[in-house]
Amino acid sequence: MAITETEAPTRGFSGYRQEAAGKPDLYLTQVGRGTPGGEYLRRYWHAIAFEHEINDLPIRAKVLGEELILFRDKSGRYGVMHLHCCHRGTSLEFGQVEERGIRCCYHGRLYDVDGTTLEAPGEPPEALGKFVQGAYPTHVHSGLVFVYMGPPELKPPFPLYDRFDLKDVRTAPVNARLPFSCNWVQVKENSMDPIHTATLHVLPGQPNPFGETFGVVPELEFVETPVGMIYLAVRRVGDNIWTRSTDLIIPTIHSITSVFETGRQRKEAAPPWMTLWTTPVDDGSCINFGMMHLVGDETAEKRNAGNFNNFGQTPNRPYEERQRVPGDWDAMSSQWSINQRNRENLGLGDRGVVMFRRLLRRAIEAVERGEDPPFNHPRNNDVLPTYGTDQVLPLSVLEGDPDDPRALRRHAQKVARQYLERPPLEALR
């Protein structure tokens, strides 16, 4: 007997009825010059390379959709320029690095690190001022080279966050860049998605060495801060209440505490473990550049010895293994190169993702209006507070039943208020 249309299932096998065409939110995700998102991103410093990657030869790079060249001249200065010589377009990746600047191999024009022409064989001296190679300012911090690609007159100071200046905590670069074949926004959204640490990172056979208590889905609060936003993930661990907070520093930075935290040792605050800059390469790819925060006798060599494959941050594992035990790279990069927002079905656990998108949209709109972007670095170069840490306190501080999710959420809200009044890393400075 035939099934009538009214008797047919309304949910199962619904692929035909679902929208097939995806629509990415290009307003938030495009990075090219002249796009709203691209013009906004050009108001910030972006990591372009590790110092240890740069020797006596230029490095070809791509940032915010622009083809660039990076070099260190023989006097020790860094230069970032447009890839193609402004004379007749020869690539400066074949340029000759000199004591002062870089010389195009084709006709010998010598460019200083700011793009001014120092020599132009065959041209009269008075003509030098007419030839200017596109160039951008650079800054070096903790073994990382940064570039600013926005209007020169609006260049902000390089930000000084409190986590870069803690007593008995040293900084050092991670030894490898981590490329992702997806839009940069997806990588930042992942940092505000603590649900995934209790699912993706505790899959059976998962190589990630996260503590076993990460497998407990926490109660969550998401809070805007003066530098961006944090999540607060609250779990009961035995006789303790563990509140883990992670910073997303608008737009491209996130900083985490140790992934080996168990929530068993009581503490008011824990030092940062790693800070990551996500540099947009183009609309469909980005790179994470990492900086370690080292405590005590911990060395960069020991930390660098940890293989990022163990954290699922690369595709450098056999495909079958990645299918059985996927990691962050697989989860983020498989959301299309730019996530098709109209095909999402968000839930309560995605409140951090929604908040980040809202803050990012607000910031882009501010730049479109001709304003300074919110969360930008202050001109007075003050040290900026951050809010990511681990706090582990006895159950007695909790108001209510420790097994009641509402009591845990109220505790998270209380901690957030305390952090905003007194940033937690002040105790470590």
Residue 249 has pLDDT above 80, yes or no: yes
Query: What is the average per-residue pLDDT within 282-301?
Result: 92
Residue with tokens 């791509």: 62
Burial of 142 (0-12, 13-18, 19+ CB in 10 A): middle
User: 141 vs 23, 138, 152, 386, 423, CA distance in Å?
Assistant: 38, 10, 20, 18, 23
Q: What confidence category does residue 360 fall into, taking pLDDT thresholds of 50, 70 and 90? A: very high
pLDDT tens profile 174-209: 988 999 999 999 999 999 998 888 777 777 665 555
Give tens-digit pLDDT for 137-171: 999 999 999 999 999 999 999 999 999 989 899 99
pLDDT band per the 50, 70, 90 thresholds, residue 10? low
pLDDT in the model for residue 4:
52
Omega of the bond leading into 125 within 30 degrees of 0 (cis): no
Q: Which CATH entry fits the domain spanning 45-153: 2.170.16.10, 3.30.450.20, 3.90.1170.50, 2.102.10.10?
A: 2.102.10.10
With a cut of 70, say whether residue 219 has pLDDT above it.
yes
CA-closest candidate to residue 209, choices 201, 219, 221, 199: 201
Q: What SS3 class is residue 322?
A: helix
Which of 80, 141, 84, 416 shows the shortest CA–CA distance to 277? 141
Which pLDDT does position 1 carry in this prediction?
45
pLDDT digits (tens, 9 = 90+) for 16-60: 777 777 788 999 999 999 999 999 999 999 999 999 999 999 999
Biggest alpha carbon–alpha carbon distance for the chain: 93
Cα 399 from Cα 48, distance rounded (Å): 47
Q: Taking a C-beta distance cutoff of 8 angstroms, is the pair 134, 109 a contact? A: no
Compute CA distances 220 → 1, 233, 234, 238, 255, whole Å. 51, 5, 6, 19, 18
pLDDT at 119: 93
pTM, two decimals, is 0.92
Contacts of 391 by beta carbon, 8 Å cutoff, 6+ apart: 242, 243, 245, 267, 268, 269, 270, 415, 424
Round to whole Å and give the CA distance between 228 and 230. 7
353 neighbors 347 (Cβ within 8 angstroms): no
As a whole number of angstroms, the distance between CA 291 and CA 387 comes to 17
Strands 160-161 and 383-384: parallel
Question: Quick one: pLDDT at residue 379?
Answer: 64
Domain ranges for the chain, please list them.
Answer: 45-153, 157-428
CB atoms within 10 A of CB 384: 19
Q: Are the C-beta atoms of 143 and 51 separated by less than 8 Å?
A: yes
Per-residue pLDDT, 297: 85
Within 10 angstroms of residue 416's Cβ, the number of other Cβ atoms is: 21
CATH of 157-428, one of 1.20.1300.10, 3.30.230.10, 3.90.1490.10, 3.90.380.10: 3.90.380.10
Query: What's the pLDDT score for residue 73?
Result: 97
pLDDT (tens digit per residue) in 309-328: 556 888 988 999 888 888 88
User: Which helix (H) or strand (E) is 415 found in, with range?
Assistant: helix 405-421
Query: How far is it, in rounded angstroms, from Cα 140 to Cα 121?
Result: 33
Q: What is residue 320's three-state secondary structure?
A: helix
Asked which of 77-81, 153-157, 203-207, 226-230 is least confident by mean pLDDT, the reply is 203-207
Structure-token pair, residue 378: 């202050």
Mean pLDDT, residues 53-79:
97
pLDDT the model gives residue 310: 59
